[in-house]
Amino acid sequence: MMTSFFDQFMSPIFLGIPLMALAFTLPWLLFPSPAPRWLNNRLLTLQSWFINRFTAQLLAPMNVGGHKWALILTSLMIFLITLNMLGLLPYTYTPTTQLSLNMGLAVPLWLATVLIGLRNQPTAALGHLLPEGTPGPLIPVLIIIETISLFIRPLALGVRLTANLTAGHLLMQLIATAAFVLLTIMPAVAGATAVVLLLLTILEVAVAMIQAYVFVLLMSLYLQENV
């Protein structure tokens, strides 16, 4: 039983070929492309409005140097939201439940922000490792602590996204299994369990969107410190 619960997080394979690449490319095929006409349809208008609002809110606290990351951060946000939402459909696979994928997204972007800070303002970037006014005996300890906290940032990004999505999927499967088992024994309890499952599904939809937003928001905050 425990093995079957975690089977949903295994990478799908067809004829010995991993389907992870298909799961990556499918989200981009679902979004409509801009038309050459002057007036767009309602779907394109809603998509453009959402992208413009998100980009404006994300880049508002940054200076002009951070605006170069608008395309990367917005694309990452849409990509993560689409993967998380598609993973809530029955008999689908959620790539963002894999820690390797989330770390593969978090580490390069975090490293890029650190390198940008060291290149543009090395004094300020290194100054974050030692707060101003620190007593002399505490300087070595604080440098070690701040260095560890700096390197743990990408790990926190990847683990947060993986843990929240994995816990939600496991809880949904547990409640769905309980409702199916109780259907013939106690139909009333099974109905109440189904209602709880419906509410949990709505909560997971919100979690899927919020976790994608938190991932990109924290990455933008790391970028803001270094530009």
What residue ranges do the domains of the chain occupy?
A: 15-32+39-226
d(CA 216, CA 78): 10
Tokens of 178: 């309980």
The answer to whether residue 125 scores a pLDDT higher than 80 is no
pLDDT single digits (tens) 142-172: 888 888 888 999 999 999 999 999 888 888 8
Give exposure, 142-154, as e/b (b: 16+ Cβ within 10 Å).
eeeeeeeeeeebb
The answer to whether residue 205 scores a pLDDT higher than 50 is yes
Residue 99: the pLDDT is: 86
pLDDT single digits (tens) 54-93: 888 888 888 777 788 888 998 899 889 988 988 888 777 7
Q: Are 27 and 86 in contact (CB under 8 A)?
A: yes
Tokens of 25: 């490319």
Residue 181 neighbours by CB under 8 Å, 6+ apart: none
